[in-house]
Amino acid sequence: MRDRYGQPEKLTRAEVARILRTQNRRDEVHPYNCAGFRYPTLEGAYAFADLNRANHGHFVYGPYETTGGIVNIVDFRPSLHADHPDWEATDPALPDDWTPEVNRG
């Protein structure tokens, strides 16, 4: 896949949050439960999205054409729920930079 479409570039959590907001998705999902990737081509973005859905059970937002390139946001919540029934998604109302490691109390 990478030989054909190139290596996707992983986005920062801040970039993921910005794209989720731009696409009116930030209230649905916290960036901690996602990863974002930038692709060299639209064809590659579709191919990787299909792979993530079919082989890993991930939900994929996108592809979106942004000023920074073509991106997908991969939502890990469905596969995490399937693999770990007691796992709980991060509340989307929490700040973008929230992590359980930093915010234990």
**Token digits of residue 80:** 């995490």
Rounded Cα distance, 103 and 89, in Å = 15
pLDDT of 49-80, one tens digit each?
999 999 998 999 999 999 989 999 999 999 99
Please name the residue that has the structure tokens 């949050």: 17
In a domain, 101, yes or no: no
In a domain, 94, yes or no: no
**Contact, 30 vs 91, CB < 8 A?**
yes
Domain that holds residue 62: 2-83
In a domain, 102, yes or no: no
**Contact, 14 vs 99, CB < 8 A?**
no
Rounded Cα distance, 89 and 71, in Å = 23
In a domain, 59, yes or no: yes
pLDDT of 21-40, one tens digit each?
999 999 999 999 999 999 99
